[in-house]
Amino acid sequence: AISNNNHHALLLVSPGIGHIIPALELAKRLVTHKIISKLTFFYGSIKTSTPSKAETQILQSAIKENLFDLIQLPPIDLSIHVSPHDTLETKLAIIMHEIPLLFMSTISTMNLNPTMIITDFFFSQVIPLAKNLNLPIFAFAPTNAWVIALSLQCPTLDKEIEGEYSIESKPISIPGCKSVHPLDLIPMLRDRTQRVYHEFVGVCEGAALADGIFVNTFHELEPKTLEALGSGHIITKVPVYPVGPLVRDQRGPNGSNEGKIGDVFEWLDKQEEESVVYVSLGSGYTMSFEEMKEMALGLELSGNKFVWSVRSPVTKVGTGNYFTAGEEGGIRTTLESNNEPSFPDEFYRIQTNGIVITDWAPQLDILKHPSIGGFVSHCGWNSLIESVSCGVPIIGLPLFAEQMMNATMLMEEVGNAIRVEVSPSTNMVGREELSKAIRKIMDTDDKEGCVMRERAKELKQLAERAWFHDSPSYLALSKITHSNGV
């Protein structure tokens, strides 16, 4: 391993579990693989009445490991800028704008002597702000290369496309890559009258000034896109390095819950190999009462056993609590003993067939369990890369952000997933469609399902190789110390 003992990186991380988890893993690998000798982890935060329990636990376990310093930036008070009813995207616009400024003012008061800066891709506007520090600056994208290709193409699209990107049903083309279907477009790019659109174009322009962009993917997962990005001229001049899969290699962050969670594994141990579906819609999505009912009925119809990581439902439309994820709950229970009135009846009815986790689930350990044969996922990138690393095929129910692109990519390019469409009449995934998709993946007689299961297993091997001793992802990450000016 290359060891360079003079490097001190400042890593700027976005609030939100989907950003913090892979950034912690990136930080750990930089330090434990001795690519750099010192790292300071700055994480942005949002002022909320109840801080996210899961986020706090994850950060605390990182503090305990004592591999690097963690510094919380002063929390942003979103209520000054937006109303609670504003969309997630409006809030994101504020965050993308404010956190780079906060970071710059915070580090200017500290005596840190960094040799490089690594920023979450979302905060790439820090790159022009920090240019006068004369340090190499990198961006870390906790997503896949295709989404980054679209992002890097954004400033060009902004100039070339006149109306809304998605108004004509024409796919949005990215040179050398798969085109993006207008319905899959990330919400930030859907409405050019919104502030978030302009903020995001600014982010992408900032990223184009980076010394390199690290992406949580690996070559065999996205060969065509990585080739287009790596060609040095088709989309961007910035080197883009695949450094994935960045997936935690240990149990966590449940800490004190370890004992209770044990029941899940005891139950899983008793099930047949690859016979159980794991269901989770990520850290921040709360289903509506109706969506939950449909999900329960879909699981029932499929006849499959399941482990379902769930938050208490809300009465109206489902919501993404991206910034307060994992704050509620606290009870983990089998369905039999749970009498909370807030869950639909159907949820209790399917009780004999599964386990429900209403607290934070040890997702990675569940996915690794040999009894798990499929993952009903909202297609958050961390969940997908974890599933890929564990060799589990995916039943995709994309909901928001770049999840529609993620689902399409896995289904059409990678071949380890099936995507379930929302029914236009109800705006939900129907029970029939869900159960059909689950059966396709889980039924050993299904030919297409068999191909997807085999592909998932093949990807697991490839994912392991990406981070195995002097591996491609390790070498790509080591590029961080080879940049000009270091």
Catalytic (active-site) positions: 19, 120
Report which secondary-structure segment, H or E, holds 376. strand 372-377
Give every CB contact of residue 413 below 8 A, 6+ residues apart in sequence.
178, 222, 224
Pick the piece of the chain touching ligand UDP (CB under 6 A) from 43-51, 257-265, 355-363, 417-425: 355-363
* Residue numbers 375-404 binding ligand UDP by CB under 6 A: 380-383, 386
Binding status of residue 103 toward ligand UDP by CB under 6 A: no
H-helix or E-strand spanning residue 345:
helix 345-349
Dihedral angle computed from the Cα positions of residues 119, 125, 131 and 134, in that order, rounded to the nearest 10 degrees? 0
> Considering beta carbons, is residue 309 or 408 the nearer one to ligand UDP?
309
Taking the complex as a whole, the smallest distance from the CB of residue 333 to ligand UDP amounts, in Å, to: 14
Which CB, 25 or 220, lies closer to ligand UDP?
25
* Least distance CB 164 / ligand UDP (angstroms): 25
By beta-carbon proximity to ligand UDP, the closer residue of 36 and 287 is: 287
Cβ neighbors of 480 (< 8 A, separation 6 or more) are 9, 30, 35, 36, 116, 118, 136, 138, 212, 214
Given the complex with ligand UDP, which of 18 and 114 has the nearer CB atom? Answer: 18
User: Which span sits near ligand UDP by CB under 6 A: 105-113, 208-216, 327-335, 374-382?
Assistant: 374-382
Binding mask 256-295 for ligand UDP (x = CB under 6 A): ------------------------x-xxx-----------
CA distance 79 to 48: 10
Q: Which is nearer to ligand UDP, 7 or 91 (CB)?
A: 91
Q: What is the largest CA-CA distance in the chain?
A: 64
Q: Which is nearer to ligand UDP, 107 or 390 (CB)?
A: 390
- What is the rounded CA–CA span in Å between residue 296 and residue 215? 35
144 binds ligand UDP (CB under 6 A): no
Stretch that binds ligand UDP, among 31-39, 213-221, 360-368, 423-431 (CB under 6 A): 360-368
Give 306's strand partners. Answer: 277, 354
Instruction: Select from 58, 48, 44, 28 the least CA-distant residue to 363.
Output: 58
307/350 with CB nearer ligand UDP: 307
Tell me, residue by residue from 319 to 338, as one string, x for binding to ligand UDP by CB under 6 A and - for no binding. ------x-------------
Using the structure block, give the residue that is written with the tokens 């236009």: 424
How near is the Cβ of 363 to ligand UDP at its closest, in Å? 3
Neighbouring CB atoms inside 10 A of 59's CB total 20
Minimum Å distance from CB 475 to ligand UDP?
25
Q: Would you give the end-to-end CA distance of the chain in angstroms?
A: 18
- Answer for the pair 365, 263: CB distance below 8 angstroms, yes or no: no
Single residue of 7, 15, 18, 218 touching ligand UDP by CB under 6 A: 18
Is 363 a binder of ligand UDP (CB under 6 A)?
Answer: yes
Binding flag, residue 309, ligand UDP (CB under 6 A): yes
Judged by CB under 6 A, which stretch of 16-24, 31-39, 293-301, 469-477 contacts ligand UDP?
16-24
**CB-nearer residue toward ligand UDP: 287 or 361:** 361
For residue 251, the minimal CB distance to ligand UDP (Å) is: 10
E strand residue ranges, 125-254? 137-141, 212-215, 240-242
Listing DSSP states for 19-44 in one string gives: HHHHHHHHHHHHHHTTSSSEEEEEE-
CB-based contacts of 467, cutoff 8 Å, min separation 6 = 245, 473, 474
Q: Could you identify the residue written with the tokens 């350990």? A: 365
Interface size with ligand UDP, residues (CB under 6 A): 18
Q: Quote the least distance from Cβ 377 to ligand UDP, whole Å.
A: 7
Q: Is residue 17 near ligand UDP by the rule CB under 6 A?
A: yes
Task: Name the minimum Å distance from CB 62 to ligand UDP.
Answer: 14
- 46 lies in the site for ligand UDP, by CB under 6 A: no
Dist. CA 76–CA 212, nearest whole Å: 28
Only segment of 68-76, 333-341, 357-365, 390-398 that touches ligand UDP (CB under 6 A):
357-365
Residue 112 to residue 108: CA distance in whole angstroms = 9
Distance CA 476, CA 168 (A): 39
Of 367 and 441, which CB lies nearer to ligand UDP in the complex structure? 367
Residues at the interface with ligand UDP (CB under 6 A): 17-18, 21, 280, 282-284, 309, 325, 360-361, 363-364, 380-383, 386
